[in-house]
């Protein structure tokens, strides 16, 4: 599909100017001013055009837990939030420990056609914590292995998995939680396992990505490893930089102290955080009532981050684009994340001056579980574009 977006403020990690973008056959073909084409045209006056967002960490619950979410509802939630690519975790039912399950998820997402999907494979078979023999049969397009939802308790198992990941070119995504320590102190649990996994990655030479860093001590360990030159990356979530009351909402890892939030934001400013990832974790009302940890976060990620980080003056909109689009695209090997000729025509139109109130009842996700319900933020997603095709348009766009 061919599409021309005119008179719009164009922002990615490096550029910020008003002009036009032309997408031809799914790719960005021309960027400039005064572009005229015989095709469908969108007037972007008073809006910002950015690369669509890419989520390094999502749960779509399919297969097996589709009462919480499925590929369709997750895809709809993603485009509602401005995302056109997601990296899905393996804690489904059955656990994604084989290529049959990987291909099931990827093919289902392709049939729906709203977002590009990468499916993680579990570090241990069935997430039982002891057997990594299945990894020998895991092949492209798998890029990441993760036991997200719990940590790998046995040190030897993690070392074996990291050695295999190194040899096969996988990145290990660490859910830094010690299931025994967490019963006593969740902070100790995260810090201990962050240290263990970083040291194991140094020893084996594998690529390591630390998920949802939430404590200042864990973030400091990541910073030190980066400064030493090791291939360590990390992510933080919108809720861990916007909220600081652990009693407010149950999520794993918990919401931390104000000093942790401030340290994470300082680390973002200093360039030590690679990615803002949602950890989109939808649950049914009953499951949440029974204590299931998690936030349905993919539909509110941009507005929370824009309001918290950009409007409060911590970082620029360019920096936010790098964290939510360019860097995760690079890590996932995608042709997205920049508004450049030859890149995928995956873009998002946002109204950064419009303030709105979050209404979880209107989420496209099956999961309405969010602490942000009723809160006000800036940054309305007006339109999400994938390959030059409009896959989401805000209901009130034509009446703005």
- In three-state secondary structure terms, 381 is strand
Give ∠ CA 369-59-57 in degrees, rounded to 5.
110
Give how many domains the chain has, as a whole number. Answer: 1
pLDDT (0 to 100) of residue 397: 60
Residue 396 has a pLDDT of 64
- How high is the pLDDT of residue 1? 77
12 tagged catalytic: no
Backbone angles phi, psi at 172, to 5 degrees: -90, 125
pLDDT of residue 118: 98
Q: What is the mean pLDDT of residues 226-253?
A: 95
Mean local confidence (pLDDT), 30-47:
97
Per annotation, catalytic residue among 279, 344, 346, 351? 279
Over the chain, what is the mean pLDDT? Answer: 97
Q: Is residue 263 part of a domain?
A: yes
> Residue 33: exposed, middle, or buried by beta-carbon count in 10 A (0-12, 13-18, 19+)?
exposed
In a domain, 191, yes or no: yes
76 assigned to some structural domain: yes
What is the structure's pLDDT at 399? 38
24 belongs to a structural domain: no
Q: Is 395 part of a structural domain of the chain?
A: no
Domain membership flag for residue 31 = no
Q: Are strands 16-24 and 27-32 parallel, antiparallel or unpaired?
A: antiparallel
pTM for the structure as a whole = 0.97
Q: Residue 395's pLDDT band (boundaries 50, 70, 90)? A: confident
Q: What is the CATH number of the domain that holds 169?
A: 3.20.20.140
pLDDT at 245: 84
Specify the pLDDT at position 116. Answer: 98
Q: Inform me whether the pLDDT recorded for 46 exceeds 50.
A: yes
- In a domain, residue 157? The reply is yes
For the segment 310-320, what is each residue's pLDDT rounded down to a tens digit? 999 999 999 99
Residue ranges with strand state E in the chain: 3-11, 16-24, 27-32, 40-43, 48-51, 53-58, 83-88, 116-119, 144-146, 171-174, 207-210, 232-236, 275-276, 347-357, 376-386, 389-393
Model pLDDT, residue 247: 83
Distances (CA, A) of 241 to 19, 34, 118: 33, 40, 26
* pLDDT digit string, tens, across residues 79-122: 999 999 999 999 999 999 999 999 999 999 999 999 999 999 99
| Residue 190 predicted with pLDDT over 70 | yes
> What does the pLDDT average to over 131-160?
97
Would the pLDDT of 398 be above 80? no
pLDDT (mean) for 8-15: 98
Give dist(CA 164, CA 138) in Å, integer.
11
Residue 301 in this model has a pLDDT that exceeds 80: yes
Is pLDDT of 400 > 70? no
Q: Give the pLDDT confidence score for residue 279 in this predicted structure.
A: 98
Structural domain range at position 277: 51-332
In a domain, 125, yes or no: yes
Q: In the predicted model, is pLDDT for residue 73 greater than 80?
A: yes
Lowest mean pLDDT among 88-92, 104-108, 243-247, 377-381: 243-247
Among the residues of the chain, which ranges form H helices? 71-80, 99-112, 155-168, 186-204, 216-227, 238-242, 258-270, 285-289, 301-305, 317-321, 327-332
């Amino acid at each position: 599909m061919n599409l021309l977006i005119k008179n719009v403020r164009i922002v990615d990690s490096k550029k910020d100017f008003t002009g036009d973008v032309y997408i031809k056959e799914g790719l960005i073909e021309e960027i400039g001013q005064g572009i005229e084409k015989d095709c469908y045209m969108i007037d972007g006056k008073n809006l910002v055009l950015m690369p669509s967002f890419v989520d390094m960490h999502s749960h779509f619950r399919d297969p097996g837990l589709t009462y919480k979410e499925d590929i369709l509802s997750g895809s709809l939630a993603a485009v509602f939030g401005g995302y056109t690519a997601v990296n899905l975790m393996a804690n489904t039912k059955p656990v994604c420990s084989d290529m049959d399950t990987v291909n099931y998820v990827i093919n289902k997402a392709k049939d729906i056609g709203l977002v590009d999907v990468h499916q993680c494979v579990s570090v241990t078979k069935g997430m039982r914590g002891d057997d990594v023999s299945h990894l020998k049969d895991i092949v492209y397009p798998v890029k990441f292995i993760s036991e997200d939802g719990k940590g790998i308790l046995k040190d030897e198992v993690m070392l074996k998995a990291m050695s295999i990941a190194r040899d096969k070119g996988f990145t290990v995504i660490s859910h830094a939680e010690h299931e025994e320590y967490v019963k006593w102190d969740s902070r100790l649990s995260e810090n201990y396992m962050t240290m263990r996994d970083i040291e194991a990655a140094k020893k084996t030479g594998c690529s390591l990505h630390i998920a949802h860093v939430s404590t200042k001590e864990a973030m400091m360990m990541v910073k030190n490893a980066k400064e030493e030159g090791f291939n360590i990356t990390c992510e933080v979530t919108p809720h861990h930089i916007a909220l600081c009351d652990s009693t407010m909402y149950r999520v794993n890892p918990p919401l931390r102290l104000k000093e942790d939030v401030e340290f994470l934001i300082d680390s973002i400013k200093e360039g030590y955080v690679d990615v803002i990832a949602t950890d989109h974790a939808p649950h049914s009302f009953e499951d949440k009532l029974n204590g299931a940890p998690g936030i349905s976060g993919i539909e509110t990620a941009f507005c929370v981050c824009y309001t918290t980080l950009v409007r409060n003056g911590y970082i620029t909109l360019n920096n936010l684009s790098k964290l939510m689009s360019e860097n995760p695209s690079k890590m996932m090997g995608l042709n997205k994340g920049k508004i450049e000729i030859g890149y995928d025509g995956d873009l998002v139109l946002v109204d950064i001056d419009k303030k709105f109130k979050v209404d979880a009842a209107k989420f496209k996700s099956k999961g309405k579980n969010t602490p942000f319900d009723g809160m006000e933020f800036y940054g309305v997603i007006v339109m999400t574009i994938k390959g030059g095709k409009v896959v989401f348009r805000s209901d009130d766009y034509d009446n703005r």
